[in-house]
Amino acid sequence: MTVTARPKLAVWKFASCDGCQLTLLDCEDELLPLSEHVDIAHFLEASSAVVEGPYDVSLVEGSVTTQDDVERIHRIREQSGMLITIGACANAGGVQALRNFADVQEFRSVVYARPQYVATLAESTPISAHVRVDLELPGCPIDRRQLIGVLTALLAGRRPGLPVHSVCQECKLRGTTCVTVAQGIPCLGPVTRAGCGALCPAYGRGCYGCFGPMAKPNTDAMVASLRSLGMSPADVARVFRTFHAAKPEFRAAAEQGERR
Amino acid sequence: MSHRNDRSLRVGALARVEGEGAMHVRVDGATVTDVQLRIYEPPRFFEAFLRGRGHLEPPDITARICGICPVAYQMSACLAIEDACGVRVSEPVAELRRLLYCGEWVASHALHVYLLHAPDFLGYPGVVEMARSHRDAVERGLALKKAGNAILELVGGRAIHPINVRVGGFYHAPSPDELRALARDTLRPALDHALATVDWVAGFPFPDFTVDHELLALTDPDRYPIDRGEPRTSAGRSFRVRDFEHHIVETQAAHSTALHAGLAGAGKYLTGPLARYTLNHAALSPPARRAATAAGLGERCDNPFRSIVVRAVEMVHALDEALRIIEAYEPPAPPHLAVPPRAGIGYGATEAPRGTLFHRYELDAAGTVVSARIVPPTAQNQPSIEDDLRRYVQDRLDLDDERLTSQCEQAIRNYDPCISCATHFLDLTVERR
């Protein structure tokens, strides 16, 4: 990517809770300085002023769930130098990808009295299922420090680096006693990608995998550990089938959990 | 602009709201014949996929309905599940929940007041542009937002989708020292910022426009409602939370993926800051009450444009309340109660920043969710918003399309619509013929 003097940033939304784009507005100390270095050209949640593309960087939140979405993400890709997906919905289909394991027609009739008014696709899919993605920022929601780190790297003309190791290493760095070893609490930390700062164990809770799978997770051993800590096959399947249900590693782990 | 009697206006996506939607106004001659708040945010089917989940899962799952008010979802879900299982949390746990919720009120209201709504009154497209001439005000707003988030981060673990909330209480209780440092270093200065915010927004120009909707909010005998209370309306209707489905009826319109709610036998109504203030202003903390009076708010507030003043007053209240809770804080021991499952139906309602949020869950004996129902504030307000816009546009047909459009967008933002919630945004079209 060629970074111009004041690069143009766009923020786009698909099916989501708005939390990942809110993370940008949650950078209270950095927002105004950032706006001096970056032209926030398209960010509807924050401004009605819209600058036409092309854009140097597009941040894309949300998953693809309608035919309109499919067409829109292609138009966004064409206008974007670098396309970064932000969060579990954009990276993996999000919690709404639970429909992928069910009959969406039935889902529609449970929520809506007149399901024919509601247009939707059978599956909630990640952005990468439709267009090339240059970088995935993990998390449900994404981490503010990682977001600032990525934007800073891009402004400096560096390729941003994101950890692909597990939450376990963050616990060690933080000095948190292992909740599984010390208290027998089931924890997805060994297979979950770092980035949150190992929040849940620091609060005495097992990681629930909201940053998605780390690189090459040993989900076999994870499933065995969860079972030995007393979780039922159905519990194990559900814990992998929540916010990253459609990520291949967690999808396989859920199926494996069900079989045991 | 085309001829007055036969013109149509189409505008791109409406900005500075949470979620995606459209506004369609049809004008035949000199009469507004139809107003549709078209919510096209795609549905995500939460009520459907909650079925089959365990009874401890709804707080984390329903938080993902909304990144702006996840605590509201967590709190209503906890109350409903605890109701189904026959558990009532201890008062110290309830106080810590209320503290967390105060953080969300401050963060959400500061976002709306400063970043989404104030630019309308001062004539800017967004906060970055507004900051060029109003740097001090914007920095004050960001400091307030950060203070709200600081409560969420300390008590909840993080500001968006907090991780420390569980059915029965919390995973971990913060230490008194941590909370008192937060109060001293962050919340006391933020209270001054909130008082300055009330003064600032009270001086904005407000159009002369009032509504007479039935107003609905939770009420609590001794307290301004946040984390609990009983639903009451300005027409004197009151009911138990567990009876909400008899009183609030949802219907579906072809133009929206959000269900529309109405009061049984009465139709449209309004929930949110105007309703909370009108039904509960006597319960505001003394500094919030004084600030409201100085800002010219009386017994009721029925001008939706002045909702920005009510939000500012509610920030004063929430910060004052947070300081009160921290002052008296002792860590709840244990931080949570066990909530064993049992078959039953449970109901919960709390005051999200945008209005009353109802949850209902039906559980089987093993705690598996059999059915779920979630009634968010924006779905409840949608018919009233449409009705207000019809009247608002009717009185302003002499404006040109550009000004009419921007005033309509501002009128929509009065309600701080959270469309991600309602479907579980807006592009605006005015069709004149």
Give the pLDDT confidence of B22-32 residue by residue, as tens digits: 777 888 888 88
Q: Which tens digit of pLDDT belongs to each residue from A49-99?
A: 888 999 999 999 999 999 999 999 999 999 999 999 999 999 999 999 999
**Nearest-neighbour CA in chain A from B224: distance (Å):** 27
Say yes or no for a CB contact (<8 Å) between A44 and B425.
yes
Write out residues 247-276 of B within 8 Å (CB-CB) of A.
251-254, 257, 259
| Residue corresponding to tokens 């076999």 | A220
The mean predicted confidence, pLDDT, of chain B is 90
d(CA B204, CA B124) in angstroms, rounded, equals 14
Does the pLDDT value for residue B166 go beyond 60?
yes
In 3D space, the residue among B77, B116, B32, B138 whose CA is nearest the CA of residue B391 turns out to be B32
Between A66, A98, A117, which is nearest B252 by CB? A117
The residue count of chain A comes to: 260
d(CA B77, CA B374) in angstroms, rounded, equals 9
**Nearest-neighbour CA in chain A from B283: distance (Å):** 31
Between B17, B42, B157, which is nearest A15 by CB? B42
Cβ neighbours for B398, distance < 8 A, ≥ 6 positions apart:
none
Percent of chain A with pLDDT over 70: 95
Chain B residues closer than 8 Å to A200 by CB: 157, 163, 171
Interface test with B, best of A60, A69, A111 (most B CBs within 10 A): A111
Name the pLDDT band for B9 (thresholds 50, 70, 90). Answer: very low
Q: Which tens digit of pLDDT belongs to each residue from B10-67?
A: 444 556 666 667 777 888 888 888 888 776 667 788 999 999 999 999 999 999 999 9
Does the pLDDT value for residue B160 go beyond 50?
yes
Does the pLDDT value for residue B154 go beyond 90?
yes
Does the pLDDT value for residue B274 go beyond 70?
yes
**Nearest-neighbour CA in chain A from B429: distance (Å):** 15
How confident is the model at residue B91, as a pLDDT?
96
Measured between CA atoms, the residue of chain A closest to residue B64 is: A17
How confident is the model at residue A170, as a pLDDT?
97
pLDDT mean over B186-191: 98
Write out residues 169-198 of B within 8 Å (CB-CB) of A.
171-172
ipTM of the complex: 0.95
How confident is the model at residue B305, as a pLDDT?
95
| Residue-wise DSSP of B37-94 | EEE-SPP--HHHHTTTS-TTSHHHHHHTT-SSSHHHHHHHHHHHHHHHHT----HHHH
The mean predicted confidence, pLDDT, of chain A is 93
**Nearest-neighbour CA in chain B from A13: distance (Å):** 8
Q: Any bridge partners for residue A232, and if so which? A: none
Cβ neighbours for B116, distance < 8 A, ≥ 6 positions apart:
B16, B17, B413, B416
How confident is the model at residue B427, as a pLDDT?
44
Between B20, B65, B142, which is nearest A13 by CB? B20
